[in-house]
């Protein structure tokens, strides 16, 4: 596998080792090993139910793993002695559902965590929030309430909210899945910009063309196992596993790649 990826020689920001997760006796993640280098994008691909979302939820400690270990910047965050809330403050997460508070303005949604959790002063928090809103094309929407925004605008606001805490790594879980097709492009363009800025990201996505063009590392999951991983060129251009080839053929036949 090529070592030409950005940050390939740097210590991983996020690392999983032999991670296993079960729900009610069903194994959802099986001995998952993953290393995410700084300033890189890792794309998780695979059919629905393959374990992509669970992997992200385990990485953010929203789900407790049954075996294995997870490290963030060299610290084992699955150690029971670790302050999980402190860990989550270093990880940004954006889900399919925007999860914006409907009774709060966009600006208040974004500054809530910096002010309440990170104890940043209101003026500083709002200044940074407005800077981010401007960068993501939402500068004029700061005072609006979420229901006054389009789906694409709400998802961009959710991304701004995750960025406002200055995360070490950003986890994106199928962030275009709930969007109308015409809104998908505007959200994906934001992720491209974040990549250009050097943000470390792990994203679960069904947007195969986007994963091929943007990801430094691609992981194909099947039945909770990372069956194949490599550069985007390797996985999409010359997949080694028959299951990967079959999955990509279906994607091509459906016109999604």
Q: pLDDT grade, residue 9 (50/70/90)?
A: low
Domain range summary for the chain, segments of one domain joined by +: 1-89+197-257, 91-167
Angle between helix axes 151-163 and 181-196 (nearest 10 degrees) is 20
CA dihedral 138, 178, 44, 222 (to 10 degrees): 180
Residue 4 clears pLDDT 60, i.e. is over it: no
Class of residue 30 by CB neighbours under 10 A (exposed 0-12, middle 13-18, buried 19+): middle
Give residue-wise pLDDT tens across range 65-91. 999 999 999 999 999 999 999 999 999
C-alpha distances in Å from residue 88, one per residue of 3, 50, 230: 30, 24, 28
CB 217 within 8 A of CB 8: no
Cα 192 to chain centroid, rounded: 13
Give the torsion sign (CA, 45, 50, 53, 59). negative
pTM of the model: 0.91
Give the 3-state secondary structure of residue 83: coil
Fold of the CATH domain 1-89+197-257 = Rossmann fold (3.40.50)
- The answer to whether 72 and 16 have CB atoms below 8 angstroms apart is no
Lowest mean pLDDT among 3-12, 32-41, 71-80, 190-199: 3-12
62 CB burial (10 A radius; 0-12, 13-18, 19+): middle
- 6 pLDDT higher than 90: no
The residues that bridge with 43 in the sheet, in sequence order, are 203, 218
């Amino acid at each position: 596998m090529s070592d030409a990826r950005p940050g390939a020689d740097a210590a991983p920001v996020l690392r999983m080792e032999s991670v296993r997760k079960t729900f009610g006796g069903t194994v959802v993640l099986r001995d998952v090993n993953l290393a995410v280098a700084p300033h890189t994008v890792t794309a998780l691909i695979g059919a629905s139910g393959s374990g992509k979302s669970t992997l992200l939820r385990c990485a953010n400690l929203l789900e407790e793993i049954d075996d294995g270990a997870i490290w963030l910047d060299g610290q084992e965050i699955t150690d029971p002695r670790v302050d999980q809330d402190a860990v989550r403050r270093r990880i940004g997460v954006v889900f399919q559902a925007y999860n914006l508070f409907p009774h709060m303005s966009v600006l208040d949604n974004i500054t809530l965590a910096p002010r309440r959790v990170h104890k940043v002063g209101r003026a500083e928090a709002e200044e940074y929030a407005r800077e981010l809103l401007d960068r993501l094309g939402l500068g004029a929407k700061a005072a609006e309430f979420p229901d006054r925004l389009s789906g694409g605008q709400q998802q961009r606001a959710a991304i701004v909210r995750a960025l406002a805490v200055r995360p070490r790594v950003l986890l994106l879980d199928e962030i275009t899945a709930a969007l109308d097709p015409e809104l998908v492009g505007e959200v994906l363009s934001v992720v491209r910009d974040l990549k250009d800025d050097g943000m470390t990201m792990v994203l679960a996505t069904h947007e195969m063309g986007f994963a091929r063009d943007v990801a430094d590392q691609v992981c194909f999951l099947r039945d909770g196992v990372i069956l194949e991983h490599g550069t985007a060129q390797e996985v999409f251009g010359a997949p080694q596993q028959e299951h990967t080839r079959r999955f990509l053929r279906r994607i091509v036949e459906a016109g999604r790649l």
